[in-house]
Amino acid sequence: MRLLSGLALVLKDIGTLSFLRDVLCEFVGTALFLFAGLASVVLWRAAPVPEGSPGPDSAGTAGGTAAAFLSACLAPDPLRVGLAFGTALTLVSVCLGPATSGGVHLNPAVTLAMVAGLRTNPWRAVLYVGVQLLGAVSACALLLGVTPTPLRGQMGLNDLATGVCSYQAFAVETAVTFLLVLCVIVAARPKSPLRQMGSAVVGLSVTLGHLVAMGLTGCGMNPARSFGPAVMAQNFHNHWVYWAGPCSGALLAIGLHDLLLHPRWGCPGDWLAELREVFLKEQRKQARCQERPGE
């Protein structure tokens, strides 16, 4: 009976206008954020060509030669890419966050942290992650359509730098995502001094993460950001790093905040008790809404 009651609660919540608006904002926000950020990776300006270097026409007329020449002349700028991702996240959060019931996540790792901290319902989190991944693929597909053929390359595909092993990359991704999620949680706290400029603080943490990790892992920090280009390129080599690292960092951040910095629970039993309380509270709230449909 409890299972059926819980299932009815989930279906009722999914059908509300508030939930549909939250899901739509997650999809649109993730697509806009990643389109702007990944465009800075793919469409960077060519570096000056040294004198005496062969031009695209000197080695032949084949399209592949021009593509190889352009690829050799281009190099990503970590500062430019970091500013693009950080600014895009800040603007999307400011524009779409107030329209949602709890702000936009735009990142499966952030959503995982919110579930672990009992700030988001599990059933909402599952759909949030689904539309975030769909938004990432949509952003990459749109970017692929507007990118000139010689510049497409790997479409911002994350990969490990030469000499970096997968476990080192895992540690880097864990560290930078830990900082990002900690900033998100602290900025979202009601009495936090960062609350008024929370979006800017989170954007700065993304920029800093790129400055630290881009030369090592390409800087994922967001499984959706890594998933979209991997789908477009059909290349999932070392892809586990860009899920396990950010998710581990997110769980460490929420654990540090809720257990040490601003303790909410003394033991795992307290967490389970609050989980049951939150779930039962949602059931009672839904029952009252069914009894008074006119309110």
Count other Cβ atoms within 10 Å, centred on residue 65. 17
**Locus of tokens 């950080």:** 86
Domains of the chain: 2-47+77-264 (1.20.1080.10)
Please enumerate in sequence order all residues whose Cβ is within 8 A of that of 21, keeping only pairs 6 or more positions apart, or say none: 99, 100
Instruction: For residue 139, give the nearest of 28, 34, 229 by alpha carbon.
Output: 34
Higher pLDDT, 209 or 56: 209
Summarised one tens digit per residue, pLDDT across range 235-288 is: 999 999 999 999 999 999 999 998 888 887 777 677 777 777 766 555 555 445
Burial of 11 (0-12, 13-18, 19+ CB in 10 A): exposed
Count other Cβ atoms within 10 Å, centred on residue 41. 25
Return d(Cα 105, Cα 97) in angstroms, integer.
Answer: 9
Helix, strand, or coil (residue 56): coil
Mean pLDDT of 102-126: 91
**Locus of tokens 């999809």:** 27
Instruction: Output phi, psi for 69, to 5 deg.
Output: -65, -45
Mean pLDDT of 161-177: 94
Residue 38 clears pLDDT 50, i.e. is over it = yes
**To the nearest whole percent, how much of the chain has pLDDT over 90?**
50
Give the pLDDT of residue 72.
Answer: 41
Higher pLDDT, 276 or 77: 77
Average pLDDT, the chain: 81
Residue 85 clears pLDDT 70, i.e. is over it = yes
pTM for this prediction: 0.82
Residue 213 clears pLDDT 50, i.e. is over it = yes
Radius of gyration of the chain (CA): 22
Q: Please measure the distance between the N-terminal and C-terminal CA atoms of the chain and give it in whole angstroms.
A: 27
Find out whether 77 and 44 touch, Cβ atoms under 8 Å.
yes
Higher pLDDT, 56 or 123: 123
